[in-house]
Amino acid sequence: MKISFVIPCYNEGANIDNLIVELKRVEGKLPSYDFEFLLVDDGSSDNTLELIKRAAQMERSVEYIGLSRNFGKEATMLAGFRHATGDYIGVMDADLQHPPEVIPQFVEALNSGYDMVATRRVDRKGASGRYNFGANIFYKLINFFGDDVKLDNGVQDFRLMRRSVVESILSLPESSRFSKGIFSWVGYKTHTIEVEDRPRVAGETKWSLFKSIRYGLDGLVSFSTVPLRISTFLGIIASAAGFIYAIYIVVKTLVSGIDAPGFATLACLILIMGGLNLLFLGVLGEYIGRIYKETKRRPLYLIRESSLKQK
Ligand code: UDP
Ligand code: MG
């Protein structure tokens, strides 16, 4: 029985050595299993790749893949999933925010019949208030509008799955890969373990405000077409209101003579309607841009080097 862990690493030079120590400890705790720790370097600009390569030389269970540049965590995880050979396949971060101590619990849950074990952070000590606020809005939106996904605020990528679940994930052909949504979309019997949130051991987070917003938008657009429909409804409401108002003006003019005040009303209406037009052109653009991206069928990552036998 083999357990693989995919570990995306981007500029984690300060964490790799600690990480390897922790991983060895996990191996020691589960001696009846074979382990494969697949460290995927996402085009780091520090010494991450060097450290990973050294670890792969020294430890039998450590393998590495080096991508040709920074492709983002989603693509990096995908590369790992495609090459992981375990019967159980998991993901964890390289910064030790995901406590490896719970891995034996993962294995136990899968052995008892679950297909996937996920983790939920119990409190977000590591995150700022601004981040929490944004995240809460995002989860409300995606749960309300999303098709076939339910996302729990605080659920992390840190998880272990049966190989069949990973194969299902890989069978989704889309190139905009919002993994949190995909993990939920594939279904299967999932068990969620609560884990304490831990601060990063070293290095810094790669999430800027801009990146988080883009990630949220990606998630919404990947799993919902409701934003497109909102414009239809607003259009219906606005034009209905316009017709009613037109009738009202005609009747009023017939009854009480010519009357044409309301420059301010007009200006406001033009601004509001113009604004809504642009807003929904933008929404359309989001979807069209993604259709364009999908049709190009570009690979989501390129592998520069690897310790694995070439597939
Ligand atoms: N990561 C990656 N590519 C990127 C950004 C991040 O592979 O472009 C990895 C990173 O090395 C870490 C994990 O994804 O192992 C999570 O990143 P981070 O700790 O910055 O996110 P946070 O924990 O703050 O959500
Ligand atoms: Mg982190």
Would the pLDDT of 57 be above 80? yes
Task: Give the amino acid at 95.
Answer: D
94 lines ligand 1 (CB under 6 A): yes
Residue 213's pLDDT is: 84
- Measure 309 CA to ligand 1 centroid, in angstroms: 26
**Considering the chain, what percentage of its residues have pLDDT values greater than 90?**
46
- CA dist., res. 161 & res. 186, Å (int): 12
16 lines ligand 1 (CB under 6 A): no
202 lines ligand 1 (CB under 6 A): no
Residue 124's pLDDT is: 58
- Look at residues 82, 73, 22, 83 and name the one whose alpha carbon lies nearest to residue 43: 73
- Residues around ion ligand 2, judged by CB within 5 A, are 93, 95, 97
Tell me the average pLDDT across 255-266.
75
- Look at residues 111, 136, 122 and name the one whose alpha carbon lies nearest to residue 192: 122
Spatial neighbors of 274 by CB under 8 A, at least 6 apart, are none
Residue located nearest, by CA, to atom 13 of ligand 1 = 93
Tokens representing residue 38 in the block:
């697949």
92 lines ligand 1 (CB under 6 A): no
- Measure 45 CA to ligand 1 centroid, in angstroms: 14
Would the pLDDT of 132 be above 90? no
Phi and psi, residue 186, nearest 5°:
-65, -20
- CA dist., res. 128 & res. 207, Å (int): 12
Residue 128's pLDDT is: 62
Spatial neighbors of 221 by CB under 8 A, at least 6 apart, are 176, 227, 286, 287, 290
73 lines ligand 1 (CB under 6 A): yes
Residue 259's pLDDT is: 65
CB atoms within 10 A of CB 270: 10
- Measure 304 CA to ligand 2 centroid, in angstroms: 25
- On average, the pLDDT of the chain sits at 87
Give the DSSP H/E element, type plus range, for residue 91. Answer: strand 88-91
Atom of ligand 1 nearest to the CA of 93: 15
Phi and psi, residue 236, nearest 5°:
-60, -45
Residue 127's pLDDT is: 59
Atom of ligand 1 nearest to the CA of 11: 11
Ligand nearest to the CA of 204: 1
207 lines ligand 1 (CB under 6 A): yes
Give the DSSP H/E element, type plus range, for residue 4. Answer: strand 2-9
More confident residue, 3 or 246: 3
Length of the chain: 311
- Measure 299 CA to ligand 2 centroid, in angstroms: 26
Residue 130's pLDDT is: 65
Residue 125's pLDDT is: 57
Would the pLDDT of 260 be above 70? no
Question: To test ligand 1's pocket by mutation, which of 45, 78, 95, 121 has the most ligand atoms within 8 angstroms of CB?
Answer: 95
Tell me the average pLDDT across 137-158.
84
13 lines ligand 1 (CB under 6 A): no
- Calculate the alpha carbon distances from 216 to 146, 155, 251 in Å: 12, 14, 48
Would the pLDDT of 129 be above 70? no
- Measure 180 CA to ligand 1 centroid, in angstroms: 14
Would the pLDDT of 161 be above 80? yes
Confidence of residue 203 (pLDDT cuts 50, 70, 90): confident
Helix axes 129-145, 209-223, angle to 10 degrees: 10
Confidence of residue 311 (pLDDT cuts 50, 70, 90): very low
Give the pairing type, strands 2-9 and 62-67: unpaired
Would the pLDDT of 298 be above 80? yes
Residue 187 backbone class (left: φ over 0; alpha: ψ -120 to 50; beta: rest): left
Q: Where are the alpha helices (DSSP H) in the chain?
A: 16-29, 48-58, 73-83, 103-111, 129-145, 163-170, 179-185, 209-223, 226-256, 263-296
Ligand nearest to the CA of 72: 1
CB atoms within 10 A of CB 253: 12
What's the pTM value of the predicted model, to 2 decimals? Answer: 0.79
- Calculate the alpha carbon distances from 72 to 176, 245, 300 in Å: 11, 51, 9
User: Lowest-confidence range among 17-31, 110-124, 125-139, 249-263?
Assistant: 125-139
